A and B are shown apart, each in its own frame.
Chain A
């Protein structure tokens, strides 16, 4: 508090260097944690730019942008110079790492401090590349600074075009699979890609196309929106339904077009979305932080496994369709049974108690004690794939539809629940338990229903997981699954169902598609949780109610601010 005046009057270039050093620290962290080296293998533009290089470059851009920001009360300086200074500071920190790596063998401590990493950081020249690093970082910092005073009309298309180029480069594998066909599609592929990345020609084309179209949209987008707004309401509705139908049709066609790999990724995304939708009922709707959610996933999977398995531990050999309702029911009952004891526990104690339950179940399943029934660490094998008539859900392409239908069903149920009397009771409990109780809400029933519904959804996704893998092992049910699901809810937006889908696409889909990310998945999740809590606690796609609540004061302030100013201006002018 008392330090604020000092920093306000500090010379802006010192602040710029400080920010640069901080960003340089981030760059060094990324390098030592291994991301630079691992990501260097992912070419964005072949031979020119890799994802590994993108990381330090991005930190320099951020440093330049941050360093160029004028501070309140500070002396005005040329922002670009300050940006360049901040960028150079990043370069200096990175160079210091390179020099250090040259002097001592860091590898005995940091496993990622390999020659390949230092090469990636110094353009392959070792210490002689340092002037180049400094200059390059300063230039990039200056670009970052320049970005802050381009007009929005120029900046936005540029950023969009860069993002598109980056995106196409990153997802080249996916796109190449999609374009892997004879004829026109193949021609497009050859135009854009060589081997495993964009060619320089391809990058230029993508950049130009997206830049052009987003410039056009920036000019004409308003007109289109106006045209849509002027349409009569029924026509708007038809348009909306039409685009929704189109999206569904496209989704149905995905496995046919994209093949097993992408279908597999989508099945996983769907499974985690199912889990997320279930946990969303407990955490998002009712505000009960459950860290042992994986237990219900495990219970659903094991129930299905034991009921359908043709292997050693199978009991009755039911068909999938007969076993799924049982699995869901068993998980639901388990949800109630584990829910009753924790009814009286609130907030963070509840999180720890549920975590305890989750671990107890995992350890019990793993133990030799229950081995005769559950198979111990070997698990339950030989779970047959589901059949409808003669159609077997053999691989990911077929299971995709199963997951899709389950997701649709669960979304429907969750939506109806949310808008029901029970759903409103959940929200009330989330906001304030004591007030809710005083309003006549039966806390016991309402909380148990939340646990039960969440558990049922978790059990369903466990059942699908069991048939997908074809076997059930205790090692699939680590606490990390709970954390994964929690992260995707938080990132997507607590209480928001589209948010869950967005969250699972980002947090489950991305690491599967970009396998370099998979290794750093939990590092990124952890950082995402911390950052989301600070910057956007309502999530990427927030639920309406939560957004209103969290930003109520800001909106009031923002809405009042300009109007007041305008009013006082008018008064002054008049």
Chain B
């Protein structure tokens, strides 16, 4: 559809090329500037990459929910960021209770696992409820209708949490064991970051196995391939959809816990920006594509942590870190414009998108 537009009107074409070239020039110029300046030694870059990987693995976990729901329903679950936020809030409440009783430091492994489990369960419950109440009645309506409902649900959840738990930041309690750094292969890594990275990777492997190996996972893939045909083969489509929501939400809940672990605070609006970024990651990897979402998340994380210095510092821009989100959003817009099928190249026919 895009190409037919362009062939007819070269002005649009030119404009888009100019857009690409400007972005490319900014990126290259900035990179050259930064590298020539030699202000940042190699260790700093390694830090950026490690930070980006741990941040990106959280994005990847959230992105899985977007990508699974989109794959199966062709719908952007705009409220997914709030599902993530609910996981973080739950993690905060449980961890705070453990922290007060001192259990958190006496038995860190058990308590962190409990926190993780409760966060995942809460997020799953909220997402399943959301699907039942807000989305299921809208099956089969015009495409914008569920999206608008999802936007509504997103703000409803945000402000419900604000009403319940207040509008301030809540401080997530620190675990003694996770303070400080570990040295792995000569690189010192913040312990929380290492935990986040390992946990996220384990979780994603588990999910991948679930989707690829189990019968339920196969059913889900069948439904996302062709809903009518799957129904004819005796697959319960509604159940497959609910499971996609539930599994995606449990990953988001885990991500919420990990996010709280790293940033040590929770807030009712915290789901919005990570949500959008995770969506970016999902699109980047080709929406509907599960390994794509994982890679997209990691890629976006690294891009975002190293990007401001790498691209913008060299241009002499003051306080480039303020523009971190601009980099992520520009990437989002550019992927949507130039490569809506994602960098992994999965061809998902967006007929009448």
Contact = CB atoms under 8 A, between A and B. Distances in A.
Interface of A: 1, 29, 32-35, 109-112, 287, 289, 291, 340-349, 351-353, 355-357, 359-360, 363-364, 366-369, 371, 433-434, 443-444, 479, 483, 486-487, 490, 520, 522-523, 525-530, 532-534, 537
Contacts of B93: 109
Interface stretch (B188-196, B289-297, B323-331): B323-331
A490 B148 contact: yes
Nearest to A113: B164
B350 A530 contact: no
Nearest to A351: B147
Given A523-B155, A525-B152, A537-B141, A348 B166 contact: no
A530 B326 contact: no
Nearest to B325: A363
B12 interface: yes
Given A349-B340, A360-B330, A112 B163 contact: yes
A359 to B, nearest CB: 5
A368 B159 contact: no
Contacts of A112: 163-164
B138 A341 contact: no
Contact of B163 (A368, A483, A523, A534): A523
B336 A353 contact: yes
B343 interface: no
A533 B155 contact: no
Interface stretch (B53-61, B218-226, B314-322): B314-322
A363 B151 contact: no
A369 B322 contact: yes
Contacts of A287: 144
Contacts of B330: 356, 360
B347 to A, nearest CB: 15
Given A347-B144, A490-B148, A111 B165 contact: yes
A522 B164 contact: no
B5 A533 contact: no
12 contacts: A289-B144, A341-B337, A343-B12, A344-B2, A347-B143, A351-B76, A352-B332, A353-B337, A356-B333, A360-B329, A523-B162, A526-B154
Contacts of A534: 134, 137-138, 149
A278 to B, nearest CB: 18
The DSSP consensus for interface residues of chain B is: helix
A349 B336 contact: yes
B346 to A, nearest CB: 15
Given A349-B340, A356-B332, A526 B318 contact: no
A33 B152 contact: no
B317 A369 contact: yes
Contacts of B134: 530, 534
B163 A33 contact: yes
Contacts of A433: 1
Contacts of B326: 360, 363-364, 367
B208 interface: no
A355 B276 contact: yes
A443 B43 CA distance: 51
Contact of A368 (B9, B149, B157, B319): B319
A101 B336 CA distance: 50
Nearest to A338: B333
B202 interface: no
A359 B325 contact: yes
B12 A32 contact: no
B152 A32 contact: no
Contact of A367 (B9, B19, B143, B319): B319
Interface of B: 1-2, 5-6, 8-9, 12, 15-16, 19, 75-76, 93, 133-134, 137-138, 141, 143-149, 151-160, 162-166, 238, 272, 276, 279, 283, 317-320, 322-323, 325-326, 329-330, 332-333, 336-337, 340, 350, 352-353
A413 to B, nearest CB: 25
Contacts of A29: 160
A522 B151 CA distance: 11
Contact of B155 (A34, A352, A368, A525): A525
Given A340-B16, A348-B76, A534-B138, A529 B163 contact: no
Contacts of B137: 534
B83 to A, nearest CB: 14
A533 B279 contact: no
Contact of A526 (B12, B157, B272, B283): B157
A60 B276 CA distance: 39
Contacts of B146: 533
B132 to A, nearest CB: 12
Contacts of B158: 522, 526
B152 A528 contact: yes
A376 to B, nearest CB: 10
Contact of B152 (A357, A360, A527): A527
A367 B148 contact: no
Nearest to B319: A368
Nearest to B144: A289
A290 to B, nearest CB: 11
Contacts of B153: 526, 529-530
B115 to A, nearest CB: 15
B1 A346 contact: yes
A289 B155 CA distance: 17
A32 B163 contact: yes
B323 A364 contact: yes
Nearest to B323: A367
Contact of A346 (B6, B157, B276, B353): B353
A563 to B, nearest CB: 28
B152 A353 contact: no
Contacts of B320: 369
Contacts of B144: 287, 289, 347-348
Given A349-B283, A363-B326, 14 more contacts: A32-B164, A109-B93, A341-B19, A346-B353, A347-B147, A347-B352, A369-B318, A433-B1, A444-B8, A526-B156, A526-B159, A529-B149, A529-B156, A532-B152
A347 B146 CA distance: 11
Contacts of A1: 238
A489 to B, nearest CB: 10
Contact of A352 (B2, B154, B164, B279): B279
Given A344-B1, A347-B144, A363-B326, A486 B163 contact: no
B312 to A, nearest CB: 8
Contact of B156 (A34, A291, A434, A527): A527
A111 B144 CA distance: 36
B159 A520 contact: yes
Contacts of B159: 520, 522-523, 526
Contact of A444 (B12, B76, B147, B156): B12
Contacts of B319: 367-369
B264 to A, nearest CB: 19
A1 B236 CA distance: 11
Contacts of B16: 340-341
Given A341-B19, A346-B350, A348-B76, A523 B5 contact: no
A111 B170 CA distance: 12
A537 B75 contact: no
Given A289-B147, A363-B323, A366-B322, A533 B276 contact: no
The winner among A32, A366, A523 for most chain B CB atoms within 10 A is A523
A363 B143 contact: no
Contacts of A490: 148
Given A352-B332, A356-B329, A537-B141, A443 B5 contact: yes
A532 B148 CA distance: 10
Nearest to B100: A108
B212 to A, nearest CB: 27
